[in-house]
């Protein structure tokens, strides 16, 4: 079996080594997909001396089979649907809309909880590195990328410890660069590539965001 990461922060330290060419650049910002992407991105932010914020994206899971992504939504009204799965399983539009509304409410809750009164980070003409703990279908990351693209960054880079090769190929036309430490095939699920894949809490997200930005120069 290919290598596994001991936990998310250890994976983040390894990922940081692959991002060092972006260290110390004033136009670089890291955006983590909460919750699991935040511990990974925290370590990268410290290594690069770059600001860290969150990009709220919610997977649209099929009711009863929540791990199966039928799409994803992101801040700014972005919705991406996995049309192949929807057609194959004959999922009705009303069900998709119901799942979307439920996840939109959770997205708004997290915006308030993680960001509070802070405004969205300024990313026009910036190099944006989007970090998660892994890519399985890539649907969540695709929603994230398209949400960010509307805000006119100079470049978008995806950085993850582990990714399914199919997800990398799907996302490659959407971004300037994709960085992954391992890309096993078959991939199966993100948690398989971590020894400790326990859930990151809201409190941990808030703590790591605050800690990462305390260390910024100036």
Domain boundaries, the chain: 8-56+118-214
Residues paired with residue 178 on neighbouring β-strands, in sequence order: 158
User: What are the b/e assignments for 90-124, b being 16+ CB within 10 Å?
Assistant: ebeeeebeebbeebeeebeebeeebbeeeeebebe
Model pTM greater than 0.85? yes
List the chain pLDDT tens, one digit each, 218 residues: 577 999 999 999 999 999 999 998 999 999 999 999 999 999 999 999 999 999 998 889 999 988 788 988 888 788 888 898 999 999 999 999 999 999 999 999 988 888 877 888 889 999 999 999 999 989 889 989 988 998 999 999 999 999 999 999 999 999 999 999 999 999 989 999 999 999 999 999 999 999 998 877 65
Considering the four listed CATH numbers 3.90.190.20, 3.30.470.20, 3.40.640.10, 3.40.50.2020, the one that applies to the domain covering 8-56+118-214 is 3.40.50.2020
Distance CA 100, CA 214 (A): 35
List, as one string, the DSSP characters of 118-153.
PPPPP-TTSEEEEE-S-BSS-HHHHHHHHHHHTT--
């Amino acid at each position: 079996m290919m290598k596994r990461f001991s936990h998310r922060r250890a994976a983040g330290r390894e990922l940081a080594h692959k991002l060092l060419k972006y260290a110390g650049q004033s136009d670089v910002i890291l955006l983590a997909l909460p919750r699991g992407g935040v511990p990974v991105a925290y370590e990268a932010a410290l290594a690069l001396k770059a600001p860290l914020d969150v990009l709220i994206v919610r997977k649209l899971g099929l009711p009863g089979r929540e791990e199966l992504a039928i799409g994803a939504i992101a801040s700014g009204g972005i919705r991406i649907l996995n049309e192949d799965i929807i057609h194959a399983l004959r999922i009705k539009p009303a069900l998709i809309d119901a799942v979307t509304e439920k996840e939109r409410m959770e997205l708004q809750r997290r915006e308030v909880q993680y960001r509070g009164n802070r405004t969205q980070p300024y990313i026009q003409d910036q190099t944006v590195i989007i970090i998660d703990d892994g890519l399985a279908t890539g649907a969540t990351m695709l929603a994230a990328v398209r949400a960010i693209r509307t805000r006119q960054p100079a470049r978008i880079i995806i950085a993850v410890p582990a990714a399914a090769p199919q997800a990398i190929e799907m996302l490659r036309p959407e971004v300037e660069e994709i960085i992954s430490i391992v890309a096993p095939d078959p991939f199966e699920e993100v948690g398989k590539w971590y020894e400790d894949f326990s859930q990151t809490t809201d409190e941990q997200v808030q703590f790591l965001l605050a800690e990462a930005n305390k260390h910024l120069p100036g």
